[in-house]
């Protein structure tokens, strides 16, 4: 039986995959299995996977006949995993060579349900680097483990006993549901601060985007509703219930609500969710901290119009003549001359001249 099974779902990630696999086959902990699932890639991903499977017999390869989504891919890995503990790596990321060795050693000595390592986040566009600041919060309360699920290993029998899987019927935010289940069921956790998972975000084509098309917005909304049901059906004290709602629902909703939505009706559904949760549980303290006093009042009084009102800033000539108006709604910007003549419109990855002539597209 391997000590750790590492599940790697793959779809069109050929530019990053070798870096990821190199970090796994060179792990200090040798007694591992690496389960790679190709979700019907159309680039060279599968070719790379076959090459590495020939190099290292610990790599188990699953090839899907059609594209099914990352949740089903991860669940298929969970079904065949033989390790004592389960880990996850996204193929555009990589881990320190001592990552699984250190986590497994703590796992064996502690018998914890999950053991979390540290995270270094790298912005692919700006190359900015930051280290996870949430570790100490997780130590204070388990509810704070509400993101970065791939930075931990999980005892396999803990996952099986509690039937914890990724929801297969939503296309994004499956990890939020997975972590809500883990946080609500886990009795013992351990943190390891001195080894790192390297997380790369803002990758072109990844699910991490500042634009929310209708389909993804619906999927995220469904995930948030699943988490609410999970939390409400758990035997928690009132204080713990509010903490879980804050970290596993409010934090996600508020992170998404300022994005560039395809449909404003989807943003309105997110807003209504905040309104209803506040009415039911009196979440003033949490919502004020996350939104600020003015935005909380919009939630309190169900005032969506003012909640989503555009932010305005102006550029002045001679310090008193307003010549440029910059209006921002979420991640959309409109730049106008003298408050009425449109100059530029910036929407997600496109820039329009006079609001309708496409002049730039960021790929």
Going by C-alpha positions, the residue among 149, 30, 25 that lies closest to residue 78 is: 149
**What is each CA distance from 189 to 83, 86, 228, in whole angstroms?**
19, 15, 23
pTM summary value: 0.84
Going by C-alpha positions, the residue among 211, 203, 38, 191 that lies closest to residue 103 is: 191
Helix, strand, coil abundance in the chain, percent, nearest 5: 40, 25, 30
Q: What are the phi and psi torsion angles at 297 (to 5°)?
A: -60, -35
**pLDDT by residue, tens only, the chain of 363 residues:** 999 999 999 999 999 999 999 999 999 999 999 999 999 999 999 999 999 999 999 999 999 999 999 999 999 999 999 999 999 999 999 999 999 999 999 999 999 999 999 999 998 777 778 888 789 899 899 999 999 999 999 999 999 999 999 999 999 999 999 999 999 999 999 999 999 999 998 655 444 567 889 999 999 999 999 999 999 999 999 999 999 999 999 999 999 998 888 888 999 999 999 999 999 999 999 999 999 999 999 999 999 988 886 667 888 888 778 888 887 765 577 888 887 788 888 875 678 888 778 888 765
């Amino acid at each position: 039986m391997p000590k750790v099974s590492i599940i790697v779902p793959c779809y069109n990630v050929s530019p990053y995959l070798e870096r990821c696999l190199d970090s796994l086959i060179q792990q200090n902990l040798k007694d591992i299995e690496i389960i790679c699932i190709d979700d019907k890639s159309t680039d060279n991903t599968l070719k790379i996977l076959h090459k590495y499977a020939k190099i290292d017999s610990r790599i188990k390869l699953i090839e899907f006949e059609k594209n099914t989504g990352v949740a089903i891919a991860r669940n298929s890995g969970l079904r065949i995993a033989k390790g004592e503990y389960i880990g996850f790596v996204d193929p555009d990321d990589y881990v320190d060579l001592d990552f699984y060795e250190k986590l497994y050693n703590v796992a064996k000595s502690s018998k914890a349900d999950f053991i979390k390592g540290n995270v270094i986040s790298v912005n692919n566009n700006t190359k900015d680097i930051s280290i996870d600041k949430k570790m100490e919060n997780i130590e204070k309360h388990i509810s704070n483990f509400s993101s970065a699920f791939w930075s931990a290993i999980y005892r396999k029998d803990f996952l099986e006993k509690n039937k914890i899987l990724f929801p297969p019927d939503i296309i994004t935010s499956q990890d939020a549901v997975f972590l809500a289940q883990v946080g609500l069921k886990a009795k013992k956790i351990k943190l390891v601060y001195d080894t790192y998972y390297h997380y790369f975000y803002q990758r072109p084509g990844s699910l991490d985007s500042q634009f929310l098309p209708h389909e993804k917005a619906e999927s995220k909304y469904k995930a948030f509703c699943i988490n609410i049901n999970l939390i409400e059906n758990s035997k928690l004290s009132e204080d713990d219930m509010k903490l879980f709602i804050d970290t596993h629902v409010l934090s996600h909703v508020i992170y998404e609500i300022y994005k560039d939505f395809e449909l404003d009706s989807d943003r309105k559904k997110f807003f209504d969710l905040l309104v209803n949760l506040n009415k039911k549980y009196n979440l003033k303290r949490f919502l004020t901290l996350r939104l600020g006093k003015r935005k909380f009042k919009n939630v309190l009084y169900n005032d969506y119009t003012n909640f989503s009102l555009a932010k305005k800033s102006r550029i002045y000539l001679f310090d008193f003549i307003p010549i440029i108006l910059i209006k921002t709604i979420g991640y959309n910007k409109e730049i106008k001359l003298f408050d009425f003549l449109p100059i530029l419109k910036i929407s997600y990855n496109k820039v329009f001249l006079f609001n309708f002539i496409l002049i730039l597209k960021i790929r």
